[in-house]
Structure 1
Amino acid sequence: MDRIDAMRAFVNVVNEGTFTQAAERLEMSPQLVSKYVSQLEERLGVRLLNRTTRKVHLTEAGIRYVEHAQQVLDDIDDMDSQLNDLQEGARGRLRISAPVSFATLHLAPMLADFQQAHPAVSIDLQLNDRKVDIVEEGFDIALRIGHLKSSSLIAKYIAPVRLVICASPDYLARHGTPKSPSELKNHRYLRYSYMEHDMGLPATEWLTTTGRHQEGDLICNNGDVLIKAAIQGAGIAIQPTFISGDAIAQGRLNVILPECEPARLGLYAVYAHRKLLASKVRCFIDFLDGYFGEPPYWDNFETGE
């Protein structure tokens, strides 16, 4: 009996739910899959599965064994992939999910530089501000902005994301420049609808305590739109400097109440947990690290660069 083949047959039966479906996935007969599992149980001296005519159920021993078996198989697959990468280098299609505004404003030069360094890697970039399911939707990497919650995924910190409260000089001339958070309650707010939930950022105190959604507020799920509205004098916005930085540097927006800035967020590269990464993923993450500068170049408006 090939122990690895038997282990792979067992894990696929568990994952697929039946011997027939596992056999289809492994491209072998159900009889051979059943034989492998039976031989594995005989070798271990324990029953791993309780079989019925329609389904299989893990025994207590099976529950313990399947987790270790899956890890062993993952390590073998990763080792093979790693050795192939050493021979071939980074290659293949890299599927990336990224936030709309950040990708539109800052990713194109980076991707061009990356592909120049790794010409055998093709990029499939999908822009979406919702939180995608990396595994279910088949992404290799997702770029995310926020305070990330713990999960089974791995998150590599890439750069800080600063949020500023800002408005146009014209708006402030007409409505006055707030000197304290309490004065913000009388102003129009340009609200990013994903701010509190998807980005992991709690609403600022002046939003939660003053009963917002008053007349004149604008809610949108795109930061570019809100910054353009702020430039036109529509109200006060809280937006990342990777969107607002250029307008601030050009004097089209003024930062107000800098002492009340929300806590900084982070830009992260998120990927599924694997001990050994495919070369294309590892090379992309390494390339991202430090690419945007420290501090990031979009914060250079403070130095006039």
Structure 2
Amino acid sequence: MDRLTAADVFVRIAELGNMTAAAHALDMSRPMVTRYLAQMETWAGARLLHRTTRRLSLTAAGEQTLARCRRMLEVATEMTIPVGDGADMPRGLLRIACAQSLAQEVLSAAVTEFLRRHPQAAVDLHIDSRAVNLVEERIDLAIRITNDLDPNLIARRLGACDSVVCASPGYLARHGTPLSAEDLSVHNCLTYSYFGRSLWEFSDAAGARISVPVGGNLSANESHVLLAAAVEGAGITMQPAYAAATLIDQGRLVALLPALAPLALGVHGVYASRRQMPTVLRAMLDFLAERFSNPRRWTRPQPRA
């Protein structure tokens, strides 16, 4: 972890006497403040704070560490960057985490364009369907599609992702076509472990919300697996529109329920702290916000009436 940031965190905790107040002052999540404090104590090799229910106070080792941290921050403040050396240019490595479907269908093209604009930047993509721990896994930015963000995280909304309910022509020929949301309850629905589990939500033309419990004999924690299974006729799936669009255009899948819109999901860039944000991270967030704000990148295909 960054020792300079850890020093800043420790000084704020010492000055404010409360980790929640320090997190607010630093515009940082409370878990992040706790991790920086723990790492600072590891580096110091001693407990730095007495913890009570009302306030934190410094130990003897904490007093010594506080003085060193303040000196460190003073030196850092005095450092200047020569004008004209490209200090504001995005550069360096950016580690980004996201799910396979998003990386393959959307993010890879976006990252390619970003790197074309900023040749001194580099990106390391980490593909995983689970929500990674940003600090422990040294991730600078996670792209998540969800309406249920952890309130302790810092996130920037980048766009809205439409979904589509679809199935193969073969499955529909064997089992019939659902004409209402309620009809889904008697069909084999393929459920995504991290996507509402077995409750699918829709809105009708009047804006009324409809929630339908669904189930089937196949679930997975990777949406691409369910998409491939749906193409093979395994059942009905709810997919991000960007992932299913080509297969629907090819006729390998059929979009269903034209009168209903699956609940749209927010596309978020999640990161650890706004404080001392690297230029390359800020540039990537701005780039993705501009790119992903275009609804055409997320709009669901039109179902057959």
Same fold (TM over 0.5): yes
2:232 aligned partner = 232
The answer to whether the aligner puts 1:206 opposite 2:212 as a matched pair is yes
- Three-state SS of the structure 2 residue aligned to 1:296 is helix
Q: Which amino acid aligns with 2:145?
A: I
CA distance in 1, matches of 2:300, 2:138: 36
Q: How many residues align?
A: 257
- Three-state SS of the structure 2 residue aligned to 1:242 is helix
Q: For 1:252-284, what per-residue CA distance to the aligned partner results, in whole angstroms no more than 9, with x for missing partners?
A: 222212334331001111112224421010111
Q: For 1:117-152, what per-residue CA distance to the aligned partner results, in whole angstroms no more than 9, with x for missing partners?
A: 111112111001101111222111000010133534
CA distance in 2, matches of 1:273, 1:185: 43
Contact 2:141–2:269 (CA under 8 A) maintained in structure 1: yes
CA distance in 1, matches of 2:13, 2:44: 5
The answer to whether the aligner puts 1:58 opposite 2:50 as a matched pair is yes
- Three-state SS of the structure 2 residue aligned to 1:247 is helix
Cα-Cα RMSD: 4.1
Give the alignment partner of residue 22 of structure 1, picking from 7, 20, 44.
Answer: 44
CA distance in 2, matches of 1:157, 1:12: 28
The answer to whether the aligner puts 1:138 opposite 2:138 as a matched pair is yes
The answer to whether the aligner puts 1:103 opposite 2:103 as a matched pair is yes
Q: For 1:198-255, what per-residue CA distance to the aligned partner results, in whole angstroms no more than 9, with x for missing partners?
A: xxx95454326xxx44xxx211222122112212222111111121111122222222
1:295 aligned partner = 295
- Three-state SS of the structure 1 residue aligned to 2:282 is helix
Q: Which amino acid aligns with 2:213?
A: L
Q: How far is 1:78 from its partner?
A: 9.1
- Three-state SS of the structure 2 residue aligned to 1:116 is helix
Q: From the superposition, tell whether residues 190 and 10 of structure 1 become closer, same or farther in structure 2 (CA, over 3 Å).
A: closer
CA distance in 1, matches of 2:251, 2:285: 35
Q: For 1:38-85, what per-residue CA distance to the aligned partner results, in whole angstroms no more than 9, with x for missing partners?
A: xxxxxxxxxxxxxxxx6443374748x99xx999x9899699799999
Q: Which amino acid aligns with 1:270?
A: V
Contact 1:9–1:22 (CA under 8 A) maintained in structure 2: no
CA distance in 1, matches of 2:289, 2:81: 21
2:270 aligned partner = 270
CA distance in 1, matches of 2:235, 2:297: 26
Gaps of 5+ in 2: 15-36, 202-210
Q: From the superposition, tell whether residues 120 and 175 of structure 1 become closer, same or farther in structure 2 (CA, over 3 Å).
A: same
CA distance in 1, matches of 2:258, 2:115: 39
Q: How far is 1:112 from its partner?
A: 1.5
- Three-state SS of the structure 2 residue aligned to 1:137 is coil
Q: From the superposition, tell whether residues 172 and 202 of structure 1 become closer, same or farther in structure 2 (CA, over 3 Å).
A: closer
Question: TM-score, structure 2 length as denominator?
Answer: 0.69
Contact 1:245–1:299 (CA under 8 A) maintained in structure 2: no
1:175 aligned partner = 175
CA distance in 1, matches of 2:126, 2:39: 32
CA distance in 1, matches of 2:180, 2:200: 17
State which structure, 1 or 2, has the greater radius of gyration over its C-alpha atoms: 1
- Three-state SS of the structure 2 residue aligned to 1:108 is helix
Q: Greater shift after overlay, 138-147 or 105-114? A: 105-114
